[in-house]
């Protein structure tokens, strides 16, 4: 099992690499949004790992600002949807729906609902551990 120091180090390294590569959040095409609506995880599998890096021209989007439009249980807030507005997800593929991380199907559903509200959102990993991953939602800076 990874300790917190290892996870922090790996996320900082991912951020440095993303900055050097000029990586940006994943922007979903119209076809990919349709795939998500159908429950297909394929488009999510290409979300980049930006680690600690927030690219120029983007800012963090707080998912909690649209919580009334997501139609998810209230208990999800603070665990599956973090206080900062990030998404906390199971990355093992073995998570259960009643656990404190989004399952693959729950993630697909939430991302699909977010994109219905704003199709210009971008998505990227910001934290990866052994069994969970954090996904940050971004919006273009105006």
Whole-number Å distance between alpha carbons of 9 and 40: 32
Instruction: List strand residue ranges (DSSP E) for 22-75, in order.
Output: 26-27, 58-61
3-state secondary structure of 98: coil
Q: What CA–CA distance (Å, rounded) separates 29 from 20?
A: 25
Whole-number pLDDT of residue 126 = 95
- Is the pLDDT confidence value at 94 over 90? no
What pLDDT score was predicted for residue 85? Answer: 93
Domain ranges of the chain: 4-140
Residue 139 has pLDDT above 80, yes or no: yes
- Predicted local distance difference test score (pLDDT) of residue 44: 93
26 and 46 Cβ atoms separated by less than 8 Å: yes
- pLDDT for res 92: 86
Residue 7 in this model has a pLDDT that exceeds 90: no
Predicted confidence at residue 3, as pLDDT, reads: 84
In this predicted structure, what is the pLDDT of residue 140? 94
Q: How far is CA 15 from CA 7, 53, 77, 79, 102, in A?
A: 12, 4, 26, 24, 23
Q: What is the mean pLDDT of the chain?
A: 93
Two structure tokens written together for 118: 């704003």
Q: Evaluate whether 42 touches 35 at the Cβ level (below 8 Å).
A: yes
Sign of the alpha-carbon torsion through 37, 69, 25, 47:
negative
Query: In Å, how far are 68, 99, 139 from 62, measured between CA atoms?
Result: 13, 22, 9
Residue entry with tokens 């939430």: 110
Does position 27 have pLDDT exceeding 80, yes or no? yes
Give 28-83 pLDDT, tens digit per residue: 999 999 999 999 999 999 999 999 999 999 999 999 999 889 999 999 999 999 99
Tens of pLDDT, residues 10-23: 889 999 999 999 99
């Amino acid at each position: 099992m990874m300790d917190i120091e290892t996870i922090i180090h790996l996320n900082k390294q991912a951020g440095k690499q993303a900055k050097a590569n000029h990586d940006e959040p994943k922007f979903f095409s119209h076809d990919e949004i349709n795939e998500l609506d159908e429950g297909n995880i394929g488009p999510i599998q290409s979300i980049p790992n930006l680690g600690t890096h927030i690219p120029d021209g983007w800012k963090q989007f707080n998912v909690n600002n649209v919580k009334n439009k997501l139609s998810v249980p209230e208990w999800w807030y603070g665990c599956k949807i973090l206080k900062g507005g990030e998404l906390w997800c199971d990355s093992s593929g073995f998570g259960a729906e009643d656990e404190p991380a989004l399952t693959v199907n729950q993630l697909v559903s939430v991302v699909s609902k977010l994109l219905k509200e704003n199709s210009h959102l971008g998505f990227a990993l910001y934290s990866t551990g052994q069994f969970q991953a954090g996904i940050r939602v971004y919006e273009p800076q105006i």
